Amino acid sequence: MLRFRSEKENSMPSQTIQWFPGHMAKTRRLMKENLALVDIVFELVDARIPQSSRNPEIAQLTEGKPVLTILTKSSLADPAVTKAWMQHYSNQKDGKYVIAIDCVTGEGMNQIEPMVKKALAEKLQRYADKGMAGRRIKAMIVGIPNVGKSSLVNRLSGGKKARVEDRPGVTTNKQWVAMKNGIDLLDMPGVLWPKFDDQRTGENLAVTGAIRDGILDIETLAGILCSRLYENATDLFCTRYKLDKNKLTDAKPHELLEAVARKRGFLISGGELDTERAAIIVLDEFRGAKIGRISLEKPPAAEKKPAEAKAIPAEEKTAERPTEAADAPEESHD
């Protein structure tokens, strides 16, 4: 069972996350029951946390079907780190086919069809030899909650075929959607796995929104995120919140959050720091890439050479990414 402990008070009890509800067990059954109907599986992972968001049981669940690994939300992640992850996966036996996309900006979307045809080249040739050229390709989309499955369906179909919101658990039933490019997609509800190998995996899933915010104390969650940001994107984090990085070397997660609240002038009655308000701000700004394009995980080969995440000028972010919450909720990173 995944547990988190707040560092604000050592006496606070640990919090247990109930992260594998009944509908996820149902999704696993649906995947196995419908696998025979598809030619290929689209495995979606979050480009910011490819390792944490990749189901370690994918090979077992797909039973030998070709798998196209798609790193979603690429405009939120450090492009250099994303490139390293693509190289890492392409060198693995079960990750031969991999691309990075963003359903909001359209980045990488034109790579899907040619990569599918490459993965299914032999099968498509057999169809052509039998006079069945042009037969529609059937693909199953799988991934954790809030990874972008519904956004991908809507982008490829050219319409609003799937409900999209920036929170996990929106797609709750399987649905077939016909694409313009000759591909039929079977969209499956998001599914996590029965257990996490370590607590860090669960924390990464929580800070990116794959696990509902209400399950974990928001200040604890934001403190964890502040720690990740200071670790992986020190300059971006400190610049955004006007912090002196040299004074935060040994700061604990809750102390980093307090530093943000203090610099932003978030106070409540009595002059106490409003860390809850700071927590909401940090989580929202990270998820919206307002701090910068930041990856929280690097592939094993890159761990020895940590790279600073890249800042995005405000005007560039505005041009590339429409406002998701107010102006275009249907295109949010679900």
What is the distance between the alpha carbons of residues 333 and 287, in angstroms, rounded to a whole number?
Answer: 9
Element (H, E) at 4: strand 3-4
Q: Are residues 175 and 204 in the same domain?
A: no
Does some domain include residue 15? no
Check residue 314 and give its pLDDT: 40
Check residue 265 and give its pLDDT: 96
Does some domain include residue 182? yes
E strands, 40-134, are 40-46, 67-72, 97-100
Q: Are residues 235 and 267 in the same domain?
A: yes
Q: Are residues 115 and 183 in the same domain?
A: yes
Q: What is the side-by-side order of every strand in the sheet holding 67-72?
A: 97-100, 67-72, 40-46, 137-143, 183-187, 175-178
**Residue 18 dihedral angles phi and psi, to the nearest 5°:** -85, 90
Task: For the full predicted model, state whether its pTM sits above 0.95.
Answer: no
The amino acid present at 225, given as its one-letter code, is L
How many domains is the chain built from? 2
Query: Which one of 187, 213, 242 terminates a domain?
Result: 187
pLDDT in tens, 226-272: 999 999 999 999 999 999 999 999 999 999 999 999 999 999 988 99
Does some domain include residue 116? yes
Does some domain include residue 12? no
Cβ pair 15, 221 in contact under 8 A: no
What range defines the domain where residue 255 resides? 199-322
3-state DSSP assignment of residue 184: strand
Q: Are residues 64 and 40 in the same domain?
A: yes
Query: Which one of 140, 158, 187 terminates a domain?
Result: 187
Query: Which one of 187, 220, 253 terminates a domain?
Result: 187
Check residue 83 and give its pLDDT: 96
Q: Are residues 212 and 182 in the same domain?
A: no
Does some domain include residue 330? no
Q: How far is CA 334 from CA 106, 146, 153, 190, 260, in A?
A: 15, 4, 11, 10, 27
pLDDT in tens, 15-55: 444 455 555 667 677 788 889 999 999 999 999 999 999 88
Does some domain include residue 1? no
Q: Are residues 174 and 64 in the same domain?
A: yes
Could you say which residues of the chain have pLDDT below 70?
A: 1-25, 27, 94-95, 159-173, 190, 192-197, 301-334
Q: Are residues 69 and 177 in the same domain?
A: yes
